[in-house]
């Protein structure tokens, strides 16, 4: 995994966007991340972890902590973007935490949800989106990196404090850290699974033993007294021998119960014989008592019957008279109905006559009918007058409607006149508004043409000022290059002059005896010259010449650079002056000019935006002017038409009033006069009808009286009143008949019972004594029930004991394999948990695996620790037990100077640092191998270098520098000042009031 680029925005101490170029930093292999305390060095690593895993390292992930920077403006969202290569893929991950943002409408803030985006790079397609899901991105990155967040923070970020604590920690603390890194949860899960299987098997054995004990308890309850005689079972669930003891105890209880069943059979047979004899004696005494009581009761009923004989005769006579009166009942009902009809007709006639005038109350039916016809004809004549009155009311309604319309038109005319009076002023204002908007549009176009050149001049001024500094630097470099060239030329000329002065010695050094001299041609060389002090040879002169030429080339290159920079500065100066060649202005002046033009352009653009609304307002006002003129003209026309209609209505209503006045007479209206006539006609018709009804009812009453007198005489009554007094309803007759029938039935029953011979003979015998026989029988019954109950209980007890014994035997058979399985699993679980005697070192399975990993880590760490400590220290793994604790995770250091092995907690501060660093690097190698060989091209080491002396620091840096093999880069996070001198590639975190920032020092 290699990191390329990190972008941090409003994150932690960084209030603005900061870019970290890891490619540039990693090119040196070893780079330093430094800055003052609290500047945010660790926050850079937090940002890397947050981009990859959506969370910062666990030690800094406190509840309620916010990742958003307090220095960031409200509108700048918190975001981290990381570009990296992992698993052969170039990826870009962007994450934003849950954070408040300003509301789009209104004031206040709203909570923005966390967001994640993942992009991939393809040479053919370029950058393309992969996912926006938190879960998918997390799974994808975790699978590619091959490590969890904890493993990544422990392996890639290398927190030294954790490993210092790891060195001094006990076995339990080491186990927790190693278990988190190597993910030994599967071995812990095996331990838990075995423990769970052991608990399950133990529960099955215990449950089976409890079932067997429960059967034993039920057997004891079923055995009753027989169970007391046998020795009780004292074993507890889970103890060996429980099943055999229960089976033996159950066999004894069954044998005792069968003996008691035989005794119960014999007792039951004797009790049955006694009970049969007592029952026969009791039945004989009860029959004698019954017959004696029956005869005595018959005598009492005969006496009571004679006492009620007179009442019986009276009832029978009254029943016969009532049946004769029933023949007169229809005539009586007819007479009563005729009487009711006559009284109703008479009352109706009185009510009808009371509504007539006094002179008509005694009139006959013919007179009343004649008056009804007269008033009905007069009522018919009022129909035309009633229609005229209705039409007059309609005319009043039409006149009111015309008045309402007239008022509405008057209001419309006044409103239109008032609006039209201001029309000229309104139209002028709207036209001025349109003209102003058009002028603003023209002004905006002009300002837009001025604003772009002003901004270009401002940009050119910025470049001009920046290039002015470049010109000064280039001039300084050219001056230095010229001085170096002069010095090199002077040195070369000096060396050349010195060589020329000693050229004879140089030529003499090439003379060979017997060969001619290259200068004079002589083969003899009697006194060749020898080199003197300060002699310069050819090679020295040539090196000086090469240095002079190199200095000349450097000077020429500096002149070229100065020329190019001056050209760019002149171009920027010209562009800053503008097209019209104004005097060059300062950046502040150009900025002020650009801002003023921008403000004027914005204001003009705002006014120009109102052009269309102003035109639309003018067009709408002109349409409204035409509409109001038209409405006013139409209102005047309607007023003229209403005047003519009102005159026609007045003439029509005058004619109708004359006709109505003639028809209504003294009444207020025709309708009132017609209503009075209608009531009078109805009263006359009701009175005539009532007279006829009263006469018809009197005739029917007389006929009913005649029929009633004839029916009473035929039934044998002197008067109709006597027959009416004798009448008796159907219920009364049934009651009398029942009383007569009951007396006769009782008389027949008494006669039959007095004729029974058994009852007379029993009455002559001595009095019966059923109570004594009952007592004897009850005693026999009780003894029989007790014997039967004892026999049934003994039989049920034997059957229940047989059934429970079979169940116990079945449970014991099923318990055998369960107990064997439990013993096997218990041995295996104890071995994995370290509690078994077979596990001599009391090591749990997870601890055993972690011990193997720790041994690998110690071996990998020793390779670097020996180099850091100049071969003095070696880390070794120890599986020895200390005290009563379990073994397997011990860690010792071997000191080569003393040859002794001691605990890592005895190391000094500096020794602890490089030992923990070696341990961290070794652990990183082992975890990487465990993760599937994922290549980690970028590592970070956080703090701890301040405790080292210079020599140890050099050795540690040599070890870290060796990590660059195969293009691996290492970042050191430290504020130690000496590291800035030793590590040239640096990323500096600067702490400022408005928020921290980063600077690359390459």
Answer with the residue of higher pLDDT: 949 or 820.
820
Cα first-last separation, the chain = 23
User: What pLDDT sits at residue 655?
Assistant: 74
Dihedral over Cα of 403, 405, 411, 413: its sign: negative
User: What pLDDT sits at residue 75?
Assistant: 82
User: What is the per-residue pLDDT across 265-289, written as a single tens digit (0 to 9) for each?
Assistant: 887 788 778 778 878 877 777 777 7
pLDDT at 3 over 80: yes
Q: Looking at 131-135, 735-739, 895-899, 928-932, which range is the least confident one?
A: 928-932
User: What is the per-residue pLDDT across 695-716, written as a single tens digit (0 to 9) for each?
Assistant: 787 888 888 777 777 877 777 7
User: What pLDDT sits at residue 19?
Assistant: 92
User: What is the per-residue pLDDT across 70-129, written as a single tens digit (0 to 9) for each?
Assistant: 888 888 899 999 999 887 789 999 999 888 888 877 777 888 888 999 999 888 888 888
User: What is the per-residue pLDDT across 503-542, written as a single tens digit (0 to 9) for each?
Assistant: 666 666 666 666 666 656 666 666 665 565 566 777 887 8
Q: Report yes or no: 482 and 559 within 8 Å, Cβ to Cβ.
A: no
User: What pLDDT sits at residue 91?
Assistant: 92
Beta-bridge partners for 68:
11
pLDDT at 883 over 50: no
Residue identified by tokens 């007790």 is 786
User: What is the per-residue pLDDT across 225-238, written as a single tens digit (0 to 9) for each?
Assistant: 655 555 556 556 65
pLDDT at 933 over 50: no
Report the chain's mean pLDDT, rounded to a whole number.
75
pLDDT at 738 over 70: yes
Of 58-62, 466-470, 858-862, which one has max mean pLDDT?
A: 466-470
Interval 43-58 mean pLDDT: 86
pLDDT at 9 over 90: yes
Interval 380-409 mean pLDDT: 75
DSSP-derived 3-state class of residue 15: strand
User: What pLDDT sits at residue 80?
Assistant: 94
Cβ neighbourhood burial of 888 (10 Å; 0-12, 13-18, 19+): buried
User: What pLDDT sits at residue 224?
Assistant: 66
User: What pLDDT sits at residue 803?
Assistant: 74
Residue (of 682, 685, 693, 679) closest to 349 by Cα position? 693
* CB-side neighbour CA atoms (13 Å) of 49: 27
- Whole-model pTM: value is 0.39
User: What pLDDT sits at residue 884?
Assistant: 47
Residue (of 924, 919, 855) closest to 890 by Cα position? 855
Confidence of residue 175 (pLDDT cuts 50, 70, 90): low
Beta-bridge partners for 99:
112
Interval 339-361 mean pLDDT: 75
SS (H, E, C) 273-295: HHHHHHHHHHHHHHHHHHHHHHH
User: What is the per-residue pLDDT across 897-912, written as a single tens digit (0 to 9) for each?
Assistant: 887 877 777 777 667 7
Say how many C-beta atoms besides its own lie within 10 A of residue 891's C-beta: 24
User: What pLDDT sits at residue 706?
Assistant: 78
User: What pLDDT sits at residue 825?
Assistant: 72
- Rounded distance between C-alpha atoms, residue 164 and residue 174, angstroms: 11
User: What pLDDT sits at residue 96?
Assistant: 92
User: What pLDDT sits at residue 580?
Assistant: 52
DSSP-derived 3-state class of residue 5: strand
pLDDT at 607 over 70: yes
DSSP 705: H
User: What is the per-residue pLDDT across 121-166, written as a single tens digit (0 to 9) for each?
Assistant: 888 888 888 888 888 888 888 888 777 777 677 656 655 555 556 6
Of 47-51, 849-853, 860-864, 977-981, which one has max mean pLDDT?
A: 47-51
122 Cβ contact list (under 8 Å, min separation 6):
128
User: What pLDDT sits at residue 390?
Assistant: 73
């Amino acid at each position: 995994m290699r990191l390329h680029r990190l972008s941090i925005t409003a994150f932690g101490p960084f209030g603005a966007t900061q870019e970290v170029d890891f490619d540039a930093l990693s090119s040196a292999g070893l780079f330093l991340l430094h800055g003052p305390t609290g500047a945010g060095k660790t926050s850079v690593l937090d940002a890397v972890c947050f981009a990859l895993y959506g969370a910062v390292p666990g030690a800094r992930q406190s509840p309620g902590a916010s990742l958003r920077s307090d220095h960031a403006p409200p509108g700048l969202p918190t975001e981290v973007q990381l570009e990296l290569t992992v698993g052969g893929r170039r990826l870009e991950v962007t994450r934003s935490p849950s954070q408040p943002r300003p509301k789009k409408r209104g004031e206040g803030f709203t909570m923005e949800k966390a967001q994640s985006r993942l992009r991939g790079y393809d040479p053919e397609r370029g950058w393309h989106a992969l996912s926006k899901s938190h879960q998918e991105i997390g799974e994808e990155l975790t699978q590619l990196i091959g490590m969890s967040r904890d493993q990544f923070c422990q392996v890639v970020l290398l927190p030294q404090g954790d490993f210092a604590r790891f060195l001094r920690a006990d076995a339990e603390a080491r186990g927790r850290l190693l278990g988190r890194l190597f993910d030994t949860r599967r071995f812990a899960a095996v331990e838990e699974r075995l423990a769970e299987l052991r608990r399950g098997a133990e529960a099955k054995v215990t449950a089976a033993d409890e079932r067997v004990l429960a059967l034993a308890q039920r057997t004891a309850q079923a055995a009753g007294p027989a169970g007391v005689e046998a020795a009780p079972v004292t074993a507890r669930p889970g103890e060996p021998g429980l099943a055999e003891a229960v089976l033996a105890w159950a066999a004894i209880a069954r044998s005792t119960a069968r003996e008691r069943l035989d005794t119960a059979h014999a007792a039951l047979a004797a009790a049955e014989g006694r009970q049969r004899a007592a029952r026969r004696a009791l039945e004989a005494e009860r029959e004698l008592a019954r017959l004696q009581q029956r005869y005595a009761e018959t005598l009492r009923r005969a006496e009571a019957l004679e006492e009620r004989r007179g009442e019986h005769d009276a009832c029978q006579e009254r029943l016969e008279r009532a049946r004769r009166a029933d023949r007169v009942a229809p005539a009586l009902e007819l007479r009563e109905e005729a009487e009711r009809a006559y009284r109703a007709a008479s009352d109706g006639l009185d009510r009808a006559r009371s509504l007539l005038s006094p002179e008509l109350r005694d009139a006959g039916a013919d007179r009343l009918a004649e008056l009804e016809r007269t008033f009905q004809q007069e009522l018919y004549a009022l129909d035309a007058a009633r229609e005229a009155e209705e039409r007059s009311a309609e005319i009043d309604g039409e006149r009111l409607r015309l008045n309402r319309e007239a008022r509405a038109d008057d209001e419309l005319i006044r409103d239109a006149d008032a609006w039209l009076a201001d029309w000229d002023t309104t139209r002028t204002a709207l036209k001025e508004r349109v003209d102003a908007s058009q002028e603003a549009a023209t002004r905006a176009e002009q300002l837009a043409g001025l604003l772009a050149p002003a901004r270009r001049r401002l940009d050119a001024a910025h470049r001009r000022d920046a290039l002015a500094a470049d010109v000064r630097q280039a001039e300084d470099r050219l001056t230095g290059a010229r001085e170096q060239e002069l010095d090199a030329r002077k040195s070369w000329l000096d060396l050349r002059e010195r060589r020329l002065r000693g050229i004879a010695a140089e030529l003499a050094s090439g003379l060979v005896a017997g060969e001619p001299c290259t200068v004079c041609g002589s083969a003899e060389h009697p006194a060749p010259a020898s080199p003197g002090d300060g002699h310069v040879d050819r090679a020295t002169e040539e090196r000086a010449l090469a240095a002079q030429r190199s200095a000349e080339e450097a000077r020429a290159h500096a002149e070229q650079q100065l020329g190019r920079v001056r050209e760019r500065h002149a171009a920027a100066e010209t562009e800053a002056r503008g097209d019209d060649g104004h005097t060059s202005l300062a950046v502040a002046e150009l900025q002020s000019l650009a801002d003023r033009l921008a403000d004027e352009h914005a204001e003009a653009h705002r006014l120009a935006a109102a052009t269309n609304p102003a035109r639309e307002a003018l067009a709408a006002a002109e349409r409204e002017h035409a509409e109001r003129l038209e409405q006013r003209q139409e209102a005047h026309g309607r007023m003229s038409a209403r005047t003519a209609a009102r005159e026609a209505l007045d003439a029509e209503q005058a004619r109708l009033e004359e006709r109505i006045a003639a028809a209504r007479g003294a009444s207020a209206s025709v309708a009132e006069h017609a209503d009075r006539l209608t009531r009078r006609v109805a009263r006359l018709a009701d009175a005539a009808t009532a007279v006829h009804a009263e006469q018809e009812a009197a005739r029917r009453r007389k006929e009913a009286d005649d029929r009633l007198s004839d029916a009473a005489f035929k039934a044998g009554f002197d008067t109709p009143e006597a027959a009416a007094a004798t009448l008796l309803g159907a219920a009364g007759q049934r009651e009398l008949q029942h009383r007569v029938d009951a007396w006769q039935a009782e008389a027949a029953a008494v006669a039959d019972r007095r004729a029974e011979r058994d009852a007379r003979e029993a009455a002559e015998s001595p009095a019966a004594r059923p109570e004594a026989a009952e007592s004897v029988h009850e005693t026999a019954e009780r003894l029989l029930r007790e014997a039967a109950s004892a026999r049934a209980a003994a039989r049920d007890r034997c059957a229940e004991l047989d059934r429970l014994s079979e169940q116990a035997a079945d449970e014991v058979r099923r318990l055998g394999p369960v107990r064997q399985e439990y013993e096997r699993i218990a041995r295996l679980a104890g071995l994995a948990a370290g509690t078994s005697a077979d596990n001599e070192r009391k090591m749990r399975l997870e601890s055993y695996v972690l011990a193997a990993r720790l041994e690998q880590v110690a071996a990998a760490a020793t390779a670097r620790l020996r180099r850091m400590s100049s071969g003095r220290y070696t880390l070794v793994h120890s599986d020895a037990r200390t005290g009563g604790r379990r073994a397997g995770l011990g860690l010792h250091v071997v000191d080569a100077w003393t040859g002794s092995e001691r605990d890592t907690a005895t190391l000094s501060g500096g020794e602890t640092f490089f030992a923990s660093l070696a341990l961290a690097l070794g652990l990183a190698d082992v975890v990487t191998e465990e993760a599937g060989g994922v290549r980690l091209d970028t590592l970070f080491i956080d703090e701890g270098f301040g405790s080292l002396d210079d020599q140890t620091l050099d050795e540690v840096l040599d070890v870290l520098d060796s990590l660059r093999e195969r293009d691996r880069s290492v970042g050191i996070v430290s504020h130690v000042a000496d590291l800035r001198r030793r590590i040239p590639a640096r990323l500096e975190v600067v702490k400022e009031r408005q928020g921290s920032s980063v600077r690359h020092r390459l």
